[in-house]
Structure 1
Amino acid sequence: MGQALLRLAGEREDIAVVAAVARSTPAQRVVDGVPHFSAAELVSVPEFDVAIDFSLPQGMAPLLALCEARGCGLISGTTGLEPEQHAALDAAAARIPVLWASNFSLGVAVLDDLVRRAAAALPGWDCDIVESHHVHKKDAPSGTALTLGEAARAGGAEPRYAALRAGDIVGEHMVQFTGLGERIELAHRATSRDIFARGALHVAARLRDRPAGRYRVADLLS
């Protein structure tokens, strides 16, 4: 994701990358004009408006503290966070704009809204969420499937889950509502992982001017 973000940010005129941070000490300090830092050097990064984080749960606390100290926004797609880490994001949202999401696809953000509306409009219908990913993905159901399940519950449905791990599937999610004699299927299929980096850059460009608060990708689509 870090490499995709750097590559795709270079295609945008509304975003300038001021630093890249990785867990270990970089072999090269400047790459294509972008300074590189290790996580231990985080406090030394130049001034920024918004940080984009796709790292590990243990990297969340120092980055969140830096964003709060500088009054900057934080966008995070780091999964596996503990409940107290989500609570820390909620607390920080009183002072800075914060966006955490399990999936940064703009299409999935729209799907989430459609699932919520369909569940509310179809009380009593069965709701099943089927997700497919590559063979190396460990968690099941996926974080996106669980997020879609939360949307279904918000609409009054009780979702059931099924997971498939096969080949090199980037990511597919299908939410099915079934009634007597009819069925509705809402689906999203990703064919490139670049969509997640593009989505993160899209919301970053829009988060920097927002007031403090907790945001969703859907809040920043336009």
Structure 2
Amino acid sequence: MARIGIIGSQGRMGQAIAAAIADAGEDFTGGVDKDGDVSAVAGIADILIDFSSPAALEANLDAAMAAGVPIVIGTTGLEERHHWLIDAASQTIPVLQTGNTSLGVTLLAHLVREAAARLGDDWDIEIVETHHRMKVDAPSGTALLLGEAAAQGRGLPLADNAVRGRDGITGQREAGTIGFASLRGGSVAGDHTVHFLADNERLSLSHLAENRGIFAKGAVRAAQWLLGREPGRYTMPQVLGL
């Protein structure tokens, strides 16, 4: 039985993960939230799952490294410097970071990469995501994950080809770009669709999340998989053997 600690345990995702840990037959060994002692939880856990905030990431990584325990990071809204911190920590401990822990989204990203690689450059790519009114970042981490998958399929850097909103007289769509549109409202757990659009035909790949339980289940699956791994940076596709 794995002892799993949750960073951000009182949030909606943290509570869902605690339930998923019990369902998986593992041990929820302790949780920590803002201004709590993450080192105390890291010291008694076999692995940590972090769904807190970007501002807390550095301290969370430091605690995991000091305790020598793996960490699954599902926090979204990360910036480039956060990824530098994750890269550095992965030299010491196993780290799995993802914009979405859903197993279905993980497979969707694989399909998006394959479609982008095989369809011609004359197919435009647009990503539409919908989330509840309380979500604070946009585009969602999942939308960016899917954008990265599409860009990798095309062999292009996403940062140089992303269009994150259109307003006013924008001119014609620039060939090769990957567009993002973000909708917010209600209690939507997370809907994502990647549209491939060409002359006279369209292909749409979608994933609809009905509740947070799917992300919690995937996070626990990732934690179980990460236990016992060598230090390094891992991804959700590896959990599914993709």
**TM bucket by the smaller chain?**
0.7 to 0.9
Q: Distance in 2 between matches of 1:59 and 1:43?
A: 12
Indicate the SS of the match to 2:17: helix
Indicate the SS of the match to 1:68: helix
Which residue in the other structure is 1:34 paired with?
Answer: none
Q: Which moved more, 1:95-104 or 1:63-72?
A: 63-72
Contact 1:104–1:197 under 8 Å retained in 2 = yes
Indicate the SS of the match to 1:161: strand
Structure 2: gaps spanning 5 or more residues: 1-12, 155-175
Q: Render the CA deviation track for 1:107-137: whole Å, top value 9, x for unaligned.
A: 0000111101100000211111111122333
Which residue in the other structure is 1:120 paired with?
Answer: 117
Contact 2:127–2:143 under 8 Å retained in 1 = yes
Which residue in the other structure is 1:171 paired with?
Answer: 190
Distance 1:65 1:138, change over 3 A: closer
Establish whether residue 202 from structure 1 lines up as the match of residue 221 from structure 2. yes
Which residue in the other structure is 1:187 paired with?
Answer: 206
Superposition TM-score, scaled by structure 1 size:
0.86
User: Which residue of 8, 21, 24 maps to 1:9?
Assistant: 21
Contact 1:152–1:158 under 8 Å retained in 2 = no
Superposition TM-score, scaled by structure 2 size:
0.80
User: Which residue of 148, 151, 162 maps to 2:181?
Assistant: 162
Equivalent position amino acid for 2:24 in 1: R
Which residue in the other structure is 1:68 paired with?
Answer: 65
Q: Distance in 1 between matches of 2:66 and 2:185?
A: 44
Distance 1:165 1:63, change over 3 A: closer
Q: Distance in 2 between matches of 1:181 and 1:17?
A: 53
Structure 1: gaps spanning 5 or more residues: 25-38
Which residue in the other structure is 1:57 paired with?
Answer: 54
Distance 1:139 1:88, change over 3 A: closer
Displaced runs of 4+ in structure 1, greater than 4 A? none
User: How large is the RMSD of aligned CA atoms in angstroms?
Assistant: 1.6
Q: Render the CA deviation track for 1:124-161: whole Å, top value 9, x for unaligned.
A: 11111111122333333222111111111111153112
Q: Which moved more, 1:83-92 or 1:201-210?
A: 83-92
Indicate the SS of the match to 2:78: coil
Distance 1:107 1:138, change over 3 A: same
Q: Distance in 2 between matches of 1:57 and 1:180?
A: 41
Establish whether residue 140 from structure 1 lines up as the match of residue 141 from structure 2. no
Which residue in the other structure is 2:31 paired with?
Answer: 20
Displacement after TM superposition at 1:57 (Å): 2.1
Q: Which moved more, 1:46-55 or 1:188-197?
A: 46-55
Contact 2:131–2:185 under 8 Å retained in 1 = yes
Q: Render the CA deviation track for 1:82-104: whole Å, top value 9, x for unaligned.
A: 32221011011112110111111
Displacement after TM superposition at 1:9 (Å): 0.9
